[in-house]
Amino acid sequence: MSRKLITLFAILCVTLSSAAFAGLQNIKVSGDITSQAIARDFGSDATASSYGEDSAYLLTQVRLRFDADLAEQVSATVALINERVWGSNGYSSSETDKNDIELDLAYVTLKQAFYDQLTLIVGRQNLYYGTGMIVGAPATNQTGDDYLYGDLSLSNGFDAVRAIIDLAPYTIDLVYAKVTEGSAYNSDDDVTLYGVNAAYDWSSYNGLTEAYFFAADNARVYNSGTLIDSTQSNTYVLGARTQFNPTDKTTLGIEGAWQFGDAYITGSVDTYRYAMAGNAFAQYRMLDKYNTTFGLCYAYFSGDDDLSDGRYSAWDPMFESQSPAEIMNLLVAQSGVQSLTASASFMPKEDITIKGSYTYAMLTYDYYSSTFTPDYGPAKNHSYSVNTDNWQLGSEVDAAILYDYTEDVQMSLNGAVFIPGNFFDGANDGDSTMYSLRGGITVSF
C-alpha cells in the first residue's frame, strides 16, 4: 500500500472517529441489572406441569438503553434486554429464545411534526393508557408468553405508530400496533391493536378525565383462563376513566368499559361479544414522617358460563397490565373475576419501604368444567379439581420489603401466600396453600 494511500486512510479514520465521537456526545446511556432468587409452589398434585409442582431458580434481567437527541425536535431510543435463568438455556423453546439478547425498544420521536401540536412516535415502544386495564403489555397473564418467569418479564414493547395531539388542556392519542405477525402472505391471521385515547386535564385537584376506544383483531378468546380459540375474533371496547385528589391526602378514581364485537368459538358460528368491566380505587396518604399510605381497590370483569347462547359475555383481557395479587395473576386471566384489595405502605426508615396487601377474589359466573387448568405462564398445566357451583376463588396476602442500599442499588424481598377458596375442591390436594418467595437486588445506572 502506498504512503499516500496510507495517509489518506489515516485521515479518513480520524475524521470518522471525530464524527462518531461528536455523535456520542448526544447519546445518553442507561440501564439496570436485576438478579433474583425465586421459589414458588402452586399446590396441585392432580396433573403436574412440565416444570413440576414446585419451582426454584435464579434469574437475571439486564436492560441497556440508548437515548439520542439527533436534532431539536428529533430523538431516537434503542433498548436491549436479556432475561435468563442461571445455568440454563431454557425450560422450553420460548425460554430458549428469551435467553437471547432481544430488542426491547426501538423508536423515533418527531416533535412538532407537520404542525406544532403533533408528536409522532414510530417503532417498538411502550404503550400504557390509564390504569393499564386495556393497554399496558403485549403479553399478559393467561394470554401471553409461555415460560417459567413470564409474569416477571420486563419486556413490554409494542411495534407501533403513535400520534399525540396536544391541545392543552386536551390531549388526543392515536395508536396503531402490530402485536403479532402471522403469515406474511395473510393479514387475516395477524393480531393488531388500534384506537384513540382522549384526555382532559382539570388543572385543579390534580384531576384527569379520559375517554377511549380500542380495538383488537384476532385476540384470543378465553373463559377464565381456558383457551377457546385464537382466530376470527375481534374486540372493540369503549370506556372512560376519571381520577382526582379531593384533598392533599386523598385520591379517588373510577373506570368503566364495555366490549362488543365477535368471538369465534370452536365448533360454532361467530358469537356476539357483550362484556363489561370496571374498577374503583381510593388512596389515603397520612403525610407523616413515615410516608404512610393506605389503598382500596375493587375490580369487576364479566364472565360467560354458556358458550352456546349466541352471546359471549366473558371480558377480553386484551393487553392489560394489572395485577390484584401475584399468585392470582398467575392462576386466572383478568376475565370472569371480581376482587377487592386493601393495601398499605410505610417507611420506618428513610431507606426502607414496607408494603403489604390483602386481596379477596370471586368468580362472576358459573364455571363450566370440574377441572381448572391455567393455559400460560409458570402455573401452566397444573390441574385443579373445582366446585362448579361455588364462586369463592380465594384470598391472598402479598408483602414486600425494599431497602435502598444507595441511590442506585435496591435490595428487595417479596412474598405472596394464596389461600384457595371453596371454588377449589379438596381432591388431589387442590386446596393446599400456594406461595411465592422472591429476593433480589437491582442496580440502575
What is the CATH classification number for the domain harbouring 116? 2.40.160.100
Q: Is residue 67 part of a domain?
A: yes
Taking alpha carbons only, the member of 208, 236, 82, 225 closest to residue 149 is 82
How big is the CA angle at 223 (ends 96 and 56), to the nearest 5 degrees? 35
Per-residue pLDDT of 140-149, as tens digits, reads 666 555 567 8
Q: Is residue 12 part of a domain?
A: no
Q: Which residues contact 305 (CB under 8 A, 6 or more apart)?
A: 365, 366, 367, 368
- Residue 42 CA to residue 39 CA, distance in Å, equals 10
| Amino acid (1-letter code) at residue 317 | P
- Provide, rounded to the nearest whole percent, the portion of the chain with pLDDT above 70: 79
Q: Is residue 17 part of a domain?
A: no
Q: Is residue 96 part of a domain?
A: yes
Q: Is residue 4 part of a domain?
A: no
Q: Is 28 exposed, middle or buried (0-12, 13-18, 19+ CB in 10 A)?
A: exposed
Q: What is the pTM of this model?
A: 0.85
Return the higher-pLDDT residue of 25 and 106. Answer: 106
Per-residue pLDDT of 387-439, as tens digits, reads 877 889 999 999 999 999 999 999 999 999 999 888 886 544 445 788 999 99
Q: Which residues contact 5 (CB under 8 A, 6 or more apart)?
A: none
Across 194-222, average pLDDT: 89
Q: Is residue 7 part of a domain?
A: no
- Residue 88 CA to residue 209 CA, distance in Å, equals 47
Cell of 4: 499516500
User: 344 — phi, psi (to 5°)?
Assistant: -155, 150
Lowest average pLDDT, out of 168-172, 213-217, 424-428, 435-439, goes to 424-428
Q: Is residue 14 part of a domain?
A: no
Domain that holds residue 115: 29-444
Confidence of residue 228 (pLDDT cuts 50, 70, 90): low
Helices (H) and strands (E) in the chain, counts: 3, 23
* 203-228 per-residue burial string, b: 16 or more CB within 10 A, e: under 16: eeeebbebebebbbbbbbbbbbbbbb
Question: Within a 13 Å sphere around the CA of 42, how many CA atoms are in the beta-carbon half?
Answer: 32
Domains held by the chain: number: 1
Return the higher-pLDDT residue of 328 and 306. Answer: 328
Structural Rg of the chain based on CA atoms: 24
The answer on pLDDT for 208 being more than 90 is: yes
Q: What is the pLDDT of residue 241?
A: 97
Per-residue pLDDT of 325-338, as tens digits, reads 999 998 888 999 99
- Residue 121 CA to residue 280 CA, distance in Å, equals 31
Q: What is the pLDDT of residue 114?
A: 87
Q: What is the pLDDT of residue 268?
A: 55
Start-to-end CA span in the chain (Å): 45
Number of other residues whose CB lies within 10 A of the CB of residue 140? 25
Q: Is residue 11 part of a domain?
A: no
The answer on pLDDT for 211 being more than 70 is: yes
Three-state DSSP at 343 gives: strand
Q: What is the pLDDT of residue 4?
A: 47
Q: What is the pLDDT of residue 8?
A: 42
Number of other residues whose CB lies within 10 A of the CB of residue 11? 10
Confidence of residue 255 (pLDDT cuts 50, 70, 90): very high
